[in-house]
Amino acid sequence: MSTLTAAVDLRPVPASVPVARHLVLDLLGAWKAPHDAGDAALLVTELVANVVDHVAGQASFTVELSLSEDWLRISVVDGSALRPVVQQFEVGAPRGRGMRLVESIADRWGAEDHADGKAVWFELAAPQP
C-alpha cells in the first residue's frame, strides 16, 4: 500500500475546529480508510481546539494526515513550544478533558519539536479482522 498524505493550513479561530473535523472525515472516506473516522474526527477536534484556545497571535497552523499500511497519523503543527498537558479529571471543570481523550482513544500520541514550534500527533491502528 502506498502512503497517502494531506496537509491544510488553517487560522487559529473557532471556525477552524469544525473545518478540521470535516476535512478528516472527508479524507478518510475518500481514502477508504478502515480506521474509526469518528475517533479520528473527535481527536483532531480536541487538538485544533487546543490551538485555538492557547496559541494567540499566530497567523496559521497546519493539520497533517498520513495513511500508511495499517496506521493513520494526524498531526497538528503550530508555532508554540508549549507542550500539551493531560490534566487530572475534575467533575466540575467545564474544560480540560481534551488531552485525556487523546490519551484514552489514540493507540499512540505525542508531541515533538517542529520548526519554530511543535507538532502534537496521534496514531490510530486499523481494526484487526
Q: pLDDT tens-digit profile of 53-97?
A: 887 677 899 999 999 988 999 999 998 888 877 766 666 655 656
pLDDT band for 115, please (50, 70, 90 cuts): confident
State the Cα–Cα distance between residues 48 and 10, nearest whole angstrom.
10
Task: Quote the pTM value.
Answer: 0.89
Q: Is the pLDDT of residue 121 over 90?
A: yes
pLDDT at site 84: 79
Give me the domain span that covers residue 14.
4-125
pLDDT at site 69: 81
Domain CATH for 108: 3.30.565.10
Structural domain tally of the chain? 1
| Ordered DSSP codes for 53-113 | HH--S-S-EEEEEEEETTEEEEEEEES--PPP--PPP-TT-SS--HHHHHHHH-SEEEEEE
